[in-house]
Amino acid sequence: MKMNTMTFRSLTMLAFSLLIFSCNGKKEQQTEEANEETVVEQDSLLPLNRLNLPEGFKIEIYAKGLDGARSMAMGDDGTLFVGTRREGNVYAVKDTDGDYKADKMWTIASGMTLPNGVAFKDGSLYLADVSRLLKYNNIENELDGPSEPELIYDDYPEALHHGWKYIAFGPDDKLYVPVGAPCNICDSTMVDERYATITRMNADGTDREIVARGVRNTVGFTWHPESKELYFTDNGRDMMGDDVPPCELNRVTEMGQHFGYPFCHGGTIADPEFGDQRPCSDFVPPVQNLGPHVAPLAVKFDTGSMFPESYKGHAFIAEHGSWNRSKKIGYRIMLVKLDANGNATSYEPFIDGWLDEESQEAFGRPVDLLFLQDGSLLISDDVGDAIYRVTYQG
């Protein structure tokens, strides 16, 4: 059957129009998916059956596909904001159907330098890069395309070594921001007194001051639910051997206290390079010495109604895990039990199994902890690229 010229031209134009529509449709779809995309669950890729939990507890995937998931902050409308260190992205995920599994994900910032720290207050997301702090106003209503952030400050030290920050608002409504030492071991305060400290400020960046000194590198802190005292983890120095020094859990009871770095470690161990300058008796000892090189990050207290009463008022710690021991340790969630005076009485595993003891391979490294309103516990993992949810079923 022959096709006349007019029919051929019409069909050709129709096919060309359909091709243009198809390409434009794909472009629009790709643009939309760059801002919002469904979180794909990949439970089978993470062997959660290898994890050891106390009787009655259960761990599941809350969100997957967040490359290098690190610090977490929860928004007022249920949006979980997740900072990263590896890729320079900041994510938002949301459980829109109430099944405690995130089903939507947005990349709200990219191309940043170690945007580890996130905090949420009064509808705004605060995001800490190495030397600057940004504020995203009305963020939960602008997840598809956030407005240009407000610059709070850009004058903190720029050193990348221990430059990533964990930030949080305290019970005094101040924003707490640490500044890690720019080295393994050095007296960095000779360069800038803010190094090896925890600072705090108003939400607009004013009235900045130093809260604690002698803090090598804290990437996690919180406040006791009753005393309101600041508790923080600190990563011990390297290159003193497999078992020395310990990492630390510390408590601030007065403004400006000094916790030993670089002169003293673990409350009693003089540093081989700086220990002859000041005695350990000059400094505040740890509440609890943790394992050597376990890289403790987040610390949180359980104040919810889900976990048994025996866990209330005690400190959960995410140990990221060692990289500098002949045999790795850490890669677990630990529990430090405290007495009525806030002093440690025990240090024991809560969840472990991310590290295979025989092969020395780990499928995950815990980073941050966050308790949800229902009392369940979220754990971020920057190797598994996941957020886990721990529940107690009794």
pLDDT given for residue 167 in this prediction: 98
* 147 — pLDDT class (breaks 50, 70, 90): very high
The answer to whether the peptide bond before residue 366 is cis (omega within 30 degrees of 0) is no
* 45 — pLDDT class (breaks 50, 70, 90): confident
Q: Are 239 and 326 in contact (CB under 8 A)?
A: no
Q: Are 299 and 233 in contact (CB under 8 A)?
A: yes
Does 35-392 carry CATH code 2.60.40.10? no
- Give me the DSSP letters along 238-294: SSS-TT-SEEEEEEE-STTEE--TTTEETTTEE-TTTTTTS-GGGSPPPSEEEEET-
* Residue scoring higher pLDDT (38 or 79): 79
pLDDT given for residue 355 in this prediction: 98
- Average pLDDT, integer, range 314-323: 98
Q: Is the pLDDT reported for residue 33 higher than 70?
A: no
* 87 — pLDDT class (breaks 50, 70, 90): confident
Task: Share the mean pLDDT of the chain.
Answer: 91
Q: Is the pLDDT reported for residue 143 higher than 90?
A: yes
Q: Where are the domains of the chain?
A: 35-392
- Average pLDDT, integer, range 28-38: 38
- Average pLDDT, integer, range 214-228: 98
Q: Residue 258: which residues within 8 A CB-CB, separation 6 or more? A: 212, 213, 214, 282, 283, 284
Q: Is the pLDDT reported for residue 27 higher than 90?
A: no
Q: Is the pLDDT reported for residue 253 higher than 70?
A: yes
User: Residue 350: which of 374, 377, 384 has the closest Cα?
Assistant: 377
Q: Which of 34-48, 157-171, 192-206, 224-238 has the lowest mean pLDDT?
A: 34-48
* 276 — pLDDT class (breaks 50, 70, 90): very high
Q: Residue 27: which residues within 8 A CB-CB, separation 6 or more? A: none
- Average pLDDT, integer, range 22-49: 49
Q: Is the pLDDT reported for residue 17 higher than 60?
A: no
pLDDT given for residue 25 in this prediction: 40
pTM of the model: 0.90
